[in-house]
Structure 1
């Protein structure tokens, strides 16, 4: 990645007396209208500050509901739910919307997949419904959904697999003996769009589908965004249960990127580059910088030094982990943070900048 001149903040979101986990009465300011990386060793307090405290305080300030997963406690240990103390002093008036692009699953059952989550499948189903064969049989778009009785395989009810119960072992899932995993009934599969059935399309990777639908602008635009965030290898119908946390996060980002940008949105991401090839990291950064150029604010928790070096602002938390962390060790443009001797991130950042 080439070096760039850091953008200037358009304002500041100032937090005071933030207390959560190892953060104790912390005062911190986040620049608005720029790309900020929050860094530090594992356990330093990055997630406590960004993914928890910042999210909760901003959501409260906007009156925007957020979903917090309750920790699961077993019989031996009761887990205390930690809440954030602190307040936003100023800057909330410059934020119109909060978007948290986290790594939680996009669905908990095989019925959820990338095509349905992004809304891409809605456009695909309409294309099939507009074919001559579908019109002759009076099939509507609902016919091409595996969640609707008229189009799905009735043996597996559109799951694509059936549960086989074993006497002394856990149940296992096997491909449906009727549809062989394609989820649709025979009549539905007889309808073709450019020689492909709806099951064939769901079996395509994003890269293959982008070439197949190159002349369908709405579908191609969605597929291209998925490629730009490094998901070209995923199948459109790949179940949500087979996706990693990083893949789920990038699907959510791609869904957001397809929306009309109105500016003044705060985007928060937790290590979005995890597991990505350097070329995909560069493509992802292009998309995130595009959000900033559209008048939004992007804050990421990040370990990738090339991403941190490309940031407009860096907030380094530490200096250590646990009780030895929870402080703002350094804050400023990357080249300034790289010179702070107390920061454990500094020497690695200096190497990335050289």
Structure 2
């Protein structure tokens, strides 16, 4: 804790992280000046630095795409009998490509109204009602949930749902978020939030 500009980030990046990396035998930059590290640092097995930069390379990135779990989820939906009868492949369950995403909002779930001298306004898409996909794609379900329903689940809810339906590969990919206390975020939540 501390006020903005009090040196919290500098302390972590320039002193604590390099010092711990050196103690762990990892490559770390040269640590700033300090007298000693106290505490039970031997219980630390690795150091990961998380900053406020957006995860992923795209504004469409979200937790489930970043963790590569969405590939498995899309494949799961494409394997459903109702998807196969319609000739749907995994690409139809992507909000990044044409085929299954809503053509009006391009899979965002909202449309942006540009305001000339004020901040842009985001309005729920009237075509898909914020669900990101075309209506016929939403008719394909896995255990009673559409692809849009899955994206609205929190990480914790999704892990419980997929575990109950023997989808270990998906739960294993979601687990790191739950392990670091991010089980409350929605799978389809934009990484910019």
Within 5 A, what are the aligned runs for 1:18-29? none
Spell out the pairing of 1:39-118 with structure 2 (5 A cutoff). Answer: 42=8, 45-49=11-15, 58=27, 100-103=48-51, 104-107=53-56, 110-118=59-67
Q: CA deviation at 1:43?
A: 7.7
- State whether residues 152 and 183 of structure 1, in contact with CA within 8 Å, keep that contact through their aligned partners in structure 2: yes
> C-alpha offsets along residues 35-59 of structure 1, whole Å, 9 cap, x if unaligned?
xxxxxx748744224558998x937
Give the 3-state SS of the residue equivalent to 2:111 in structure 1.
strand
Match of 1:122 in 2: 71
Q: Report which structure shows greater RCO (CA 8 Å, sep ≥6).
A: 1
Give CA-to-partner distance per residue, 1:229-261, whole Å, 9 cap, x none: 21221111111111xxxxxxxxxxxxxxxxxxx
Aligned counterpart, 1:282: none
In structure 2, how many angstroms separate the alpha carbons of the residues matched to 1:208 and 1:114?
14
- Count residues with an aligned counterpart: 167
* Separation in 1, partners of 2:138, 2:123: 21
Q: After superposition, where does 1:1-354 map in structure 2 within 5 Å?
A: 42=8, 45-49=11-15, 58=27, 100-103=48-51, 104-107=53-56, 110-214=59-163, 215-242=166-193
Distance 2:9 2:139 in 1: 55
Higher percent of residues as strand = 1
1:315 maps to which residue? none
Partner of 1:183: helix, strand, or coil? coil
Q: Is the 8 A contact 1:128 1:134 kept in 2?
A: yes
Is the contact between residue 63 and residue 188 of structure 2 (CA under 8 Å) also seen in structure 1?
Answer: yes
Maintained 8 Å contact 2:19/2:28: no
- Structure 1: 4+ residue segments shifted above 6 A: 52-55
Q: How far off its partner does 1:102 sit? A: 2.0
- CA contact 1:161–1:174 (8 Å) conserved in 2: yes
Give the drift of 1:158.
1.1
Matched residues in 2 for 1:48 and 1:124: separation? 40
Write the deviation string for residues 208-229 of structure 1: whole angstroms up to 9, x where unpaired. 1112111111012223332222
Secondary structure at the aligned position of 1:162 is classed as: strand
Contact kept, 8 Å, 1:160 with 1:175, in 2: the verdict is: yes
Distance in 1 between the 2:85 and 2:73 partners?
A: 18
Bigger mean CA deviation after superposition, 124-133 or 183-192:
183-192
What TM-score, normalized to structure 2? 0.74
Give unpaired runs (5+ residues) of structure 1. Answer: 1-40, 61-83, 86-97, 243-354
Measured after TM superposition, the shift of residue 144 of structure 1 is: 0.4
Q: Is the 8 A contact 1:179 1:185 kept in 2?
A: yes
Gaps of 5+ in 2: 1-6, 32-45
Paired with 1:99 and 1:201, the residues of 2 have a C-alpha distance of: 32
C-alpha separation between the residues in 2 aligned to 1:150 and 1:105?
A: 27
Aligned residues of 1:156 and 1:162 also touching (Cα < 8 A): yes
